[in-house]
Amino acid sequence: MITKVRSSFRLLLEKPQPDGPCGHPADLYEADYRPGEEPALDSLANLRPLVDTSADESHPVGLPEGETAYHSLHGRPGLYRTPGLPVLLKPRIDRFAVSADGQDWAFVSDRKLYRFRPGTTPRKVSTPGHEPAEVAFSPDGELVYADPGGIYRAEGGEQLVAGAFRDFAFSPDGARIVYLKGDELGDQLRVRSLTGEDFLLMHSARERGVYEYPLYAHPTFSPDGSRVLYCVSSMDGPWGPAAQSDLRVIGASGGVPKVLCDDVLLANPA
């Protein structure tokens, strides 16, 4: 059975730039993601710069009305939105998230969680006994955070998912998460429903014929929930820098992955 998917999505990309005096800068781009009848027929078109600099910008997040939020280490480090002026300038922001309506923002800094609305002062969110490493909003606007023990609701601290993992994202309907979990062979790319079903989508050990020391990062669902996008890097030795990084796409229920775009560190549907 063939599922009809939308003809085009806006996709935000973080791409590495040549090494500079400050290390490995990145630039932000956008492109049109065109799903086919199956992931093997998906493609990207109209790749174009998102910002007018060669600074170290990262983690682009789509906002309503076609705007984009991103983190920059250039000049005064902090969160920015484009087009327009900065909405917040604060160093040492590790991860950030924006609600679907663009009205609620949150970030992690020094293992502490903060929340704010544009134009207001961030307030610290209490996370007793936890040191948040990641933060996200569910599709219905609920703020959640993750530490090595699981995913938790910011309001009340209830644990949604238990277990050690990294880099998680909600499905568009909020019923599933995609996440990464390491083992002795490499990285597991997994999908879990909030009712408890959990399955392995892909294992980095299966990609060693293409990548040397493959490392997964930043999985996310396509806006219609039918695909999972993730980045895989070929490392220069088990502890070396990334020698190659590709954006891959795979069906959210399984299948054979396809390289959607090369030289990509992160991708977020907008």
pLDDT tens column, 107-163: 998 899 999 988 888 899 999 999 999 999 999 999 999 998 999 999 999 998 888
Share the mean pLDDT of the chain. 86
CA count, 13 A, side-chain hemisphere, 60: 30
pLDDT grade, residue 171 (50/70/90)? very high
- The whole model's pTM is what? 0.88
Exposed, middle or buried: residue 11 (CB in 10 Å: 0-12, 13-18, 19+)?
A: buried
DSSP 8-state secondary structure symbol assigned to residue 65: G
Unique residue bearing structure tokens 């935000």:
12
Containing 194, the helix (H) or strand (E) segment is: none
Within a 10 A sphere around the Cβ of 164, how many other Cβ atoms? 11
Q: What angle do CA 131, 60, 187 make, to 5 degrees?
A: 60
Q: Look at phi and psi of residue 150 and say left if phi exceeds 0, alpha if psi is from -120 to 50, else beta.
A: left
Mean pLDDT, residues 33-60: 86
Residue bearing the bigger pLDDT, 181 or 82: 181
Q: Does residue 151 or residue 210 have the better pLDDT?
A: 151
Q: How far apart are CA 207 and CA 16, in angstroms?
A: 22
Return phi, psi of residue 35, to 5°. -70, 145
- Do residues 203 and 187 make contact, with C-beta atoms less than 8 angstroms apart? yes
The rounded percent of the chain whose pLDDT value lies above 90 is: 56
Contacting residues for 244 by C-beta, under 8 A, at least 6 apart:
211, 233, 234, 262, 263
Cα 162 off chain centre by: 20
Q: What is the Cα–Cα distance from 165 to 11, expressed in whole angstroms? A: 25
pLDDT at residue 154 in the model: 95
